[in-house]
Structure 1
Amino acid sequence: MAVGEQIAKEDRQDLEFWGRLWQSARRPLVLSGAGISVASGLPTVGQRWNGIPLRTLFTQRRFESRPKEFFDCYRDWLWNWGRAEPNPAHRALAAWGGRVVTLNVDGLHRKSGSSGCVEVHGRLFELACRQCGLILEARLAFREDVPRCPGCNSLLAPNMVFVGEPVRHFATVMDWVGDADLLVAIGTRLDVSPINQIPLAAHRKGIPLVRINRRAEVLVPILVGRA
């Protein structure tokens, strides 16, 4: 009750407006970014490793030229992020059961039980061979300094989109946007290409956009009726 009273004081107008949109929508589409996982103990964009920005480290060029350094960072990331658990926002969306597009690689939507989730930047906790397509569990990275594919002996890489690479499943995402009657962006500004095309497409179609960029773990369960 204390949380409800706090929300009523600070966010009543937003929640009332968002709630009316949500209740009237038949095909809402949720897009989540790093902000939804802050309450799970994960950072937002801009993190560094040994002073190196991750956006600089997680590139194809860096991966190929300094694979040992790359995998040292990756193992640290696996160790730290592997302990994260879904928070109430993830669980509320899983209970709702609708379409979710996430920019995150942390796997927390899947871990919470969301079956209809598209991960446009891939999955941190998988390794992939970019030559033969084999997908393996990320724990293989703890067995070898620079893990190689058991099938073709090529370097394995995290099953993620490197900086500058095309996002995955974008055609599906845009189809979902075209089918939606409400867009809910949680913990993301939707300002990086090509993701920035999503709010533009929604605007052209007259689809309302709700932005939740604070306290997602509190506001999202209330919005979707799973508090």
Structure 2
Amino acid sequence: MTLTLPDDVLYRLINARRVVALTGGGVAAESGIPSFREAHTGHWAQYDVSELATPQAFVRNPRLVWEWYAYRRMLAERAQPGVTHYALVDLEQHYPAFTLITQSIDGLHWRAGSRDLIELNGSLRRCRCFESGHIAFAWDDDGEIPPRCVQCGSLLRPDVVMFGEGLPHHELRRARQAVEQCDVFLCVGTVGAIEPVASFPFVARRHGAFVMTIAPEDSIYTLMADYVIAAQPGVIASELVRLIVGDVGGLEELQADAL
């Protein structure tokens, strides 16, 4: 797809110094990652969310909760980063300051190469112990379920935000600071309209940033945007990078594979 942008929009994108991008389920879906609702099928359809994805559920039945998230981790590990994931890596390497904020827990942004990354809802690639919060990137899947923390012995749980839990204060503070300081804010794909994330475009505009949304359907994020590209991000990702950065090897092949 050939993408053209108004001169003033292109000028803002090319000359930006501090950029923030926000992603969610839309970009994950491009790689075949099912949403919570979509994954809640088959064997898992017999369970209520209160039995699978709350801290109270983990206390009652830690094995069941662990196995639910292990299933979702397996789906994420089978998936591959898509065109949009890699395009955002190219933009991170181009801009002097680039922060990627995501609602996704699949870890695909990290696997693609994004490093200035704020995973607001946590990540399936990590666990933390239930009692002390020690982070674990590896654990024994062949023993006790759930595994135990090697530092304190308490049960490990997925390092994700479960229903009923608030967003982590440190990550939220980092995200808010990046949004307040950026001069371009990109909302990429379908993103959950959940506060305080839904207010990020408003916060960015209030601090003088240019807000652009790339999404096929209207949402609160398109309503608050200065400019909207009404398309799936993966369809125009390589063209957008080319307009801003120039030719980047590999993106065209990735886009062709995705379509």
Same fold per superposition (TM over 0.5): yes
Task: Say which of 5, 8, 19 aligns to 1:16.
Answer: 5
Residue 95 in structure 1 maps to residue 90 in structure 2: yes
Shift of residue 45 of structure 1?
4.9
Output the TM-score relative to the length of structure 1: 0.83
Residue 200 in structure 1 maps to residue 241 in structure 2: no
Output the TM-score relative to the length of structure 2: 0.74
- Give unpaired runs (5+ residues) of structure 1: 1-6
Task: Say which of 216, 220, 225 aligns to 2:233.
Answer: 216
Q: Which residue of 2 aligns with 1:60?
A: 55
Q: Matched residues in 2 for 1:189 and 1:75: separation?
A: 24
Alpha-carbon spacing, 1:172–1:55, altered in 2? closer, same or farther (3 Å) = farther
Q: Matched residues in 1 for 2:49 and 2:210: separation?
A: 33
Structure 2 letter corresponding to 1:82: E
CA contact (8 A) 1:138 1:158 kept: no
Alignment of 1:134-213 (within 5 A): 134-137=134-137, 139-168=139-168, 169-213=171-215
Structure 2 letter corresponding to 1:64: V
Q: Matched residues in 1 for 2:69 and 2:178: separation?
A: 32
Q: Matched residues in 2 for 1:221 and 1:56: separation?
A: 42
Alpha-carbon spacing, 1:205–1:149, altered in 2? closer, same or farther (3 Å) = same
Q: Which residue of 2 aligns with 1:106?
A: 106
Q: Matched residues in 1 for 2:84 and 2:112: separation?
A: 10
Alignment of 1:8-47 (within 5 A): 8=2, 12=3, 15-17=4-6, 19-47=10-38
Q: Which residue of 2 aligns with 1:70?
A: 65
- Give unpaired runs (5+ residues) of structure 2: 93-97, 217-231, 243-247, 252-259
CA contact (8 A) 1:22 1:223 kept: no
Please list every run of at least 4 consecutive aligned residues from structure 1 whose deviation after the TM superposition is greater than 6 angstroms: none
Shift of residue 105 of structure 1?
1.2
